[in-house]
A = this chain, B = another copy of it.
Amino acid sequence: MPETGHIRVDEEFPLALGGSLPEVGITFEQWGDVDAPGDRTIVIMPALSASAHVSSGVADPTPGWWEAMVGPGRWIDTDQWRVVAGAILGAPFGSSSPLSENVHGGGQWGRDFPQITPADQARCHALMLDHLGIERVHAAIGASLGGMQVLQFAAMYPERVSRIVSISATGKTTPGTVALRRVGRNAIMNDPDFADGRYAGGKGPLRGLAVARELGTICYRSRDEFNQRFSWDPDPEGPFTPHKLTYEVERYLAHQGERFANMFDANCYLLLSRCMDLMDLGAGFDLYADGVLRIRCPSMIIGVDRDMLIPASEQQHLAHLLQSHGREVHFEILPSLFGHDAFLKEHEWFGPRVRDWLQA
């Protein structure tokens, strides 16, 4: 088995909301013994802005987005486990997305890429496992949008996973989160360079995307972190106008926004933003509980006390529902200044818990 690759499946891929993709492509990476069987395999599902490059490897020695967690001798020990990650459906990291060629003709999909949900992304991970010859994995792990895919995967394929770790995710998006995401989308769609989603390749609504990411950055961290990290006083030199970056936190946000706008695609962003709104384990069921209780394997559900995008109460509700119906749940709330982004920062907290959970 190669350490990295691209799977192309020339079969119709039906979508949760109806319709289908005529084909699907999945870019993946692997670490550890890439011929190990499923019961020694862990699948990691990335969040919105993360590729399949979870960790460094032979093919790509640059650090991955969960470098501190995954690797030889690390918390998710690739000397012990085979780790697989597929780039998520809809993101600009190699798997099918608005940047892909529409085989119906007309060049890239762009804004015509059909709306997906985390359930579709979970099905894409299942397809990847099929093609890697893995029927059942030991664990599925993800945070944020990755954690939503993990929940959907465990719900849709209870026979294909032994245990899960879902961090800072929700079983069903609430209006408070839709509201925050809408503002970002609105900023993008208002940018005249968005051109109703028909902007030229490589161009697009960079300023709108930057505004969306600035708001995202605020939601991904916490007020306490910002208040601790940044100066409370304006730049001494002035002028103190609204048109100038007067506070340190403004320079930070401007930098984050610009960097993201240059690496992400606006149609992908809008698609994934709405995809997260549409997260709902209860979709298609009479009761939310009916959808949730498809999850039968032991679950590690983690929330972060200062998560302002997907509050810890949402992970708690999910854990309580599972526990109330006899499922094995390990639920914890991490107190962290880093809020929603804690999974990218608090490795010393997550590490031992995830390691022990994998071996439980």
* A interface residues with partner B (beta carbon < 8 Å): 17, 111, 115, 172-180, 182-183, 185-187, 189-192, 197, 207-208, 210-211, 214-215, 218, 222-224, 226-227, 229-234, 238-243, 246-250, 253-254, 257, 270-271, 273-274, 277-278, 280, 308, 311
Contact = CB atoms under 8 A, between A and B. Distances in A.
A182 B249 contact: yes
B274 A176 contact: no
B17 A238 contact: yes
A226 B115 contact: no
The copy count of this chain in the complex is 2
B190 A191 contact: yes
B172 A186 contact: no
Given A238-B17, A278-B234, A247 B215 contact: no
B243 A270 contact: yes
Is the contact region of chain A dominated by helix, strand, or loop, or is it mixed?
Answer: helix
B253 A179 contact: yes
Nearest to A231: B175
A175 B274 contact: no
A337 to B, nearest CB: 12
A264 B218 CA distance: 26
Nearest to A257: B186
Nearest to A283: B233
A192 B172 CA distance: 37
Given A175-B230, A183-B253, A241-B274, A211 B197 contact: no
